[in-house]
Structure 1
Amino acid sequence: MTQPAPTESTDSAGEPVLDGQVFDAVLFDMDGTLIDSTPAVVRSWLRWASEFGVDPSFRDQGHGLPARALLASLVAAEDVETSIARVLELELADTDDIVVLPGAVALMGSIPEARRAIVTSCARPLADVRLAATQFPAPAVVVTVDDTPRGKPHPEPYLEGARRLGFDPARCLVIEDAPAGLAAGRAAGCATIGVAGTHAVADLDADFVVRSLADLRVTVTPDGLLLHHLVD
């Protein structure tokens, strides 16, 4: 995409990423990108698997996918709704060990309210519980799996995030940790930044990959948001 040239010096903020492109808004994934809920998720899903007689090896396959999509691949059709309800019950009850990831609060806080959103595969109650448990300062726009008929890797969640902010998806940046989420962002027409952690750098098909949100900075320019990568 063609973007306006940067209008401010970046000398103190590191190298501009994505060829210095300027964006109207940033759409963040939540789990694995802003917060780490992995221990609680693993406990909850392993307990569900034990109760439903499912091989626990499945847990390495579903990060970034809506729970419904993963469960539909693991149990008979008649057991999907019961499984969804049980997994949600377990996850809502387990908020131990959920932490904010490095750099997440600072990066989110550096973006104006009207230009930021969370787009998550969590159900609304679960997103609310996890954000509250970490005291993460959530933006006004939070899109959950309850808000769109189709979840990641379909583009609809990110299209909805851009729509709620009032921006063209082609002028939005998606920040994600999971291949399914990055695929959703690309399909929505957004630029993408992958964050390593839940997946190796080699597994992240993104326009740019960082090892931590702490490596990113935002400059607000008259034309929009310019991201910088802090390099050693």
Structure 2
Amino acid sequence: MLDTLEGRVFAAVLFDMDGTLIDSHPAVERSWVRWAQEHDVPLSSFAGMHGRPAADIVALFLPPERREAAFRRIEQLETEDTDGVVVLPGTVDALAALPPGRAAIVTSCTAPLARARIGASGLVQPSVLVTADQVTAGKPAPDPYLLAAQRLGVSAAQCLVVEDAPAGLAAGRAAGAATLAVTVTHKASELDADAVVETLADVRFVVGDGGVRVVAPSG
């Protein structure tokens, strides 16, 4: 339902990437399960970790002296495994509807991993791409979304954040943005957002002189 966003106009739309614009879940699971086996970490599934920077996840399981090498290893595994990474329904139309200066991708991937997945999926990215290695604190901190808004020359409070994970939605709220959630990786009951839809195929972005509105596909 988009009722809470109806009538609102946004300066820009800030999209999460994995689970929002592209489906990388099988590759992510394969990489993290292999990493966990190599590092003797009790991680049988990536569930619950999605949306957080890899460095933060590594820090949950390993002591400081092992974290740097372990982070480099998971980055290598994820960058090399892009099999099955594809764009999600509605992604192409959503990005095509937004002109330069009205959209950004804000991801918990590092820049090399983001480039690998963008290339594998065929995603046409907007001019602004914010990655985890460009900020001091990643999601759920607001820093990535604040930086994206700054690069677009707008206030984060004037933006709409589109996310699939609780950590990303928390980051968007902390930045002062409105939030739209997609239920690609989490149930609607797990997502605290102004509006929740299944995928971007369930919304349409309309650009006018004042900014961007989000409406139902037939709106």
* 2:108–2:132 Cα contact (<8 Å) kept: yes
* 1:15–1:230 Cα contact (<8 Å) kept: no
Q: Which residue of 1 aligns with 2:35?
A: 48
Gaps of 5+ in 2: none
d(CA) in 2 for partners of 1:148 and 1:56? 26
Which amino acid in the other structure matches residue 107 of structure 1?
Answer: A
* 2:12–2:103 Cα contact (<8 Å) kept: yes
Q: CA deviation at 1:58?
A: 5.6
Q: 1:15 to 1:83 in 2, by over 3 A?
A: closer
d(CA) in 1 for partners of 2:3 and 2:47? 34
Alignment of 1:131-210 (within 5 A): 131-210=118-197
Which amino acid in the other structure matches residue 54 of structure 1?
Answer: V
d(CA) in 2 for partners of 1:39 and 1:18? 32
Q: Which residue of 1 aligns with 2:108?
A: 121
Please report the TM-score for the alignment, with normalisation by the length of structure 1: 0.91
Q: Which residue of 2 aligns with 1:213?
A: 200
Instruction: Spell out structure 1 runs of 4+ moving beyond 6 A.
Output: none
Q: CA deviation at 1:167?
A: 0.3
Q: CA deviation at 1:76?
A: 1.4
Instruction: Tell me the alpha carbon deviations over residues 29-83 of structure 1, each in whole angstroms, 9 at most, x when there is no partner.
Output: 0000000101111111111111111112462221000001111001111111111
Instruction: Tell me the alpha carbon deviations over residues 109-139 of structure 1, each in whole angstroms, 9 at most, x when there is no partner.
Output: 1011111000000000000010001111011
Q: Which residue of 2 aligns with 1:60?
A: 47
Higher alpha-carbon Rg: 1
Q: CA deviation at 1:17?
A: 5.6
Which amino acid in the other structure matches residue 47 of structure 1?
Answer: R
* 1:64–1:179 Cα contact (<8 Å) kept: yes
- What RMSD over aligned residues (CA atoms) do the two structures have, in Å? 1.6
d(CA) in 1 for partners of 2:124 and 2:109? 17
Q: How many residues align?
A: 219
Q: CA deviation at 1:15?
A: 7.0
Q: Which residue of 1 aligns with 2:63?
A: 76
Which amino acid in the other structure matches residue 96 of structure 1?
Answer: D
* 1:143–1:160 Cα contact (<8 Å) kept: yes
Please report the TM-score for the alignment, with normalisation by the length of structure 2: 0.96
